Amino acid sequence: MRRPRFSLARMLFAFAALTLGIAAVATLATSPALAQGKPDLKTYPSSDFTDTAFMQKVHEKVGRAWKRPAEAPKQGSKAVVIATYLRDGSLLEPKLHFQSGSAAWDKSALEAVKSAAPIDPLPKSYPRTSLEIHFHFEYN
């Protein structure tokens, strides 16, 4: 039985290719373009509100109104806006409950909620006179 013969040159070439491949992967993983996060909107209504179709509409409307600033906050940051809507869909003054660390990001979050108002009237099946929604404008 013959043993395969590997020349020193082939072994060095294979080692160099493997090393360069690992270095390329490490470079790509730490490149700023790939290391950057992405904006994400999450919507949390009062726990007794169960109309998911209604909430989907609200989520989409606020998402369309959200004009993200040129500079994003630090990755893992979020702004939380608490909004209270009356039965007719009108918005009481929203509050910036949690700051992201970026004044521009926080302002854009607050403006998105304000400019998306009013929303559709609250469903007749919902017994309360108002609905509180927490909007999380995240950068992950």
Domain ranges of the chain: 7-36, 37-139
User: For residue 36, what pLDDT is reported?
Assistant: 80
* Spatial separation of the C-alpha atoms in residues 67 and 112, rounded to whole Å: 7
Q: How is residue 5 annotated by DSSP?
A: P
- Judged against a pLDDT cut of 50, whether residue 13 lies above it is answered with no
* Rounded mean pLDDT, 23-48: 68
Which pTM was predicted? 0.75
Does domain 37-139 match CATH 3.30.1150.10? yes
pLDDT value at 53 more than 50: yes
Are 89 and 118 spatial neighbours (Cβ–Cβ below 8 Å)? yes
Distance CA 94, CA 62 (A): 13
Residue from 70, 67, 49 nearest 58 by CA: 49
Residues 119-132: tens digit of each pLDDT = 999 999 999 999 99
